[in-house]
Structures are given as structure tokens and as C-alpha cells.
Homo-oligomer: A and B are copies of this chain.
């Protein structure tokens, strides 16, 4: 009966009825509401009552309420109330459902909140050390890492982290405040996993607390999850750099067909790009027909550009992943790579030059009357192609980052393909310049 009467009211009114009821009745009234109204009514309850409700509702009920709530209301609740209990119930779910729940709770994929665990020890500054230890005895058993006690104020805002070691060596009648320095390191829920890795690298902590933007403590992230994230990030970068779409599972666990698909995508893209080499070569058909000797050096020239480009792309992508370089450093990188490219191109060019000179003059090879012009063509082409390789290999990742894309997408094969096409143009242009009237 009560059910049907209540359901005719506006959720706000139901909420105020619940608020006005006696302690025990509140929960009963709430539980008897129809499923579709529950979530809305819940969002109108006062934060304090919301907290109480969650404490009394089982995890299934809590999950149900949260699931049916509008995402913004849900996020607000999560951001505003000290929600150890929400997190407790989420932690009872399977990994898959936990992911869904956290996402429902307003934390998008890729943000550090997804890795939070609720098993940490929090305390208030006026607690004595003895009380803190008693608290740990009661609640700290599950705490993943017991290196720190997190001190919060009355609004659950984080105000300090205290090393347990520090508490163990201090007289246990003293309050926490006596050892507090109000200096702490923390992460923010919306921070990216990449940035969180950087924090862990920097501060060498086994765990870091996570707060909302306004400083409310909502969880901790532990080193083991960060370690997994580092390996996951690097594996993805490896695969992308190698010209494979990032695999979802390990090599052994990836089914053959999905492995082929992940590789085919990029191979086809690269193949399509590489078709331009055929067009470029077709453009120089007359030169080729006139001087077949030029053909011999095509793979040598373009692969040198590709290799130097792969090197540059690898170095820059990795340096950016480790935050050693940012897009602001583009000019520094460009200068360094142009100089490197020039030096490397000169080295290879001289090797190529000598190879032709020696082959022609001291072995059976015959590069004709114009062998010297040919040798110079190789020398200058290599300088040009290698410089172009290092320049594209280094600038493409930075450009991708600038466009908010993953720099690792500039796979070594992608850079190599780009440089193959332009390499042909550079090579035959130099040849046209130096050999016209001689060989061609």
C-alpha cells in the first residue's frame, strides 16, 4: 500500500518524507520503493543520509542504486561523501563489474581512479598514536601497504601522510598532530595513468593517496598496479612502434585470426603508402631505362633513410613516454636530429662513395665512364635521405602528440614507408642534377 502511495509522489517529496522519518523507518521506506524511483529519490537525500543508507544497504543494493542513477548525480555523490563503503562494495564485485562500476561512478578509462583500492588506513589529527594503532588493529588487516597512515580533517580532506615507521618510534601517548608536517604527496582522481606512473617514479612510494579535485581522500593506488601499468604501457608502445595495433592479450593468448587482423591493418596501410614508390619510380622511368645502374642502389638508399628514421622515431617516442621530452622541446630535437642526420648521412655517404670507387677501380665491377659522378650521386643522396629520415622520424611523434594522438603510432615502419617514397624522389633528383648529359 505504502508503495503505491509513495510512487505517486515526486521523488523530492519522497526524499523529504524519508528524511523526516525515524531512524529505522528510513531504510525500510527506501527499500520498498519501486526500482526505477529508488535511484532518483536517493539522489535527493542529504549527503549524510546517503552515507548512512549506503552503510546499511548491502553491496548489491548499493550497486543497483548507483547503476540506475544519472551519471552526473552519481559522480556528485562519489565526489562529495566519504565513500569508503561504496568502494568496499565495489571491491566485492568481479574485476569486470568493478570496471563497469567505476566507470559508472564517473571515472573514465585511463584515469588513475580506476586503479584505486579502498584498503588504506585513515586517521584524524587529534588521535593518539595508541588509538591509531588500535584502529589499524581493527581495520588495517586488509590494508594493501601499511607504510602510511593518511590523516584527514572533519570533511575527509587529506591533510597529511605519516610513515608508520615514524609512529612506531614515537611515544604512543602523543597525538598524530605532534608528528605531522602537513606535507604530503597525492594523486587526483582524474589524473591519467601515465602521469601517475611519473609520480611513482619520482617519489618512490609504495602507495600514493588519491583525492578528488577539492582534496577529499577517496582511495590509494599501490605500486603493484603501477608496475603492471608500466609494463602495459611499454608493451603497447612496443607493438605500435613495431607497426602492430596494440594487442589486447599476450602474444600466446591472442587467437591467430585476431593476431592476423591486428597486423593486417597496418600492413595494408603501409602497403598502400608504399605503392607511391611505384608511382615515384614510374615518374623516373626514362632515367631508369637510360641508366639501369641507378636501380642497383635504390634499396640501399631508401633503406638507409628508413633505418635512420626508425632510430629517431624510437628514441623520441621513448623519451616522450618517460617524459624526458615534451612537445615544447621540438626545436631542440629538430636541431639535434638534423645535425645527427647530417653526420650519419655523411658517414654512410662516404662508405657508399668508397664502395663504388673501390669496386670500380680495384675489382671487376664496371660503373662506366661516369663512375665518379655516380659515386657523388650516392654520397649526396645519402646525406639528403638520412637527414630527411631523422627529421621525419623525430618530428612525426612530436606532431602526433601535439594533435593529442599517441606518439607511438608513428611506428618505425610508418616512418620508413614515408621515407622510402621521398627517398626515391631525393635520389633521382640528385641523379638528374649530377648525371644529366652523362648517364641520363
- Report which A residues bind B (CB closer than 8 A): 133, 136-137, 140-141, 143, 145-147, 163-166, 168-169, 200-201, 204-206, 222-224, 226-228, 230-231, 234-235, 237-239, 241-244, 247, 250-252, 256, 259-260, 263-264, 266-268, 270-272, 274-275, 277-278, 281-282, 285, 288-289, 292, 295-300, 302-304, 306-308, 310-311, 313-319, 322, 324-325, 329, 332, 336, 339-340, 343-344, 347-348, 351-352, 355, 386, 412-413, 416-417, 420, 424
Shortest CB–CB separation between residue A391 and chain B, in angstroms?
A: 14
Q: How far is the CB of A390 from chain B (nearest CB, A)?
A: 9
Q: Tell me whether A310 and B242 are in contact (CB under 8 A).
A: yes
Q: Is the CB of A264 within 8 A of B347?
A: yes
Asked if residues B274 and A238 are in contact (CB atoms below 8 Å), the reply is no
Q: Which B residues lie within 8 Å of A168 (CB)?
A: 133, 136-137, 140-141, 146
By a CB distance below 8 angstroms, the chain B residues around A314 are 238-239, 241-244
Do A275 and B252 contact each other (CB < 8 Å), given the known contacts A201-B227, A270-B307? no
Q: Are A165 and B147 in contact (CB under 8 A)?
A: no
Q: Among B281, B324, B332, which residue has its beta carbon within 8 angstroms of that of A296? A: B281
Given contacts A141-B165, A267-B347, A424-B299, contact A412 B310 (CB under 8 A): yes
Q: Which residue of B lies closest to A247 (CB)?
A: B315
Can you offer 12 A-B residue contacts whose CB atoms are under 8 A? A140-B168, A146-B146, A204-B224, A223-B224, A242-B311, A242-B314, A271-B304, A275-B300, A281-B295, A281-B296, A299-B424, A412-B412
Whether the pair A304, B146 counts as a contact (CB closer than 8 A) is no
Contact between A251 and B201 (Cβ–Cβ < 8 Å)?
Answer: no
Is the Cβ of B315 less than 8 Å from the Cβ of A242?
Answer: yes
What residues of chain B lie closer than 8 Å to A355, measured between beta carbons? 275
Cross-chain contact A227 with B230 (CB below 8 angstroms): yes
Nearest Cβ on chain B to A94's Cβ, whole angstroms: 19
* Distance in Å: Cβ of A340 to nearest Cβ of chain B: 5
**Chain B: CB-nearest residue to A249:** B324
Q: Which residues of B contact A266 (CB under 8 A)?
A: 307, 311
Residues of B within 8 A of A140 (CB): 165, 168-169
- The answer on a CB contact under 8 Å between B201 and A274 is no
Contact partner, A244, options B278, B295, B315, B351, Cβ 8 Å: B315
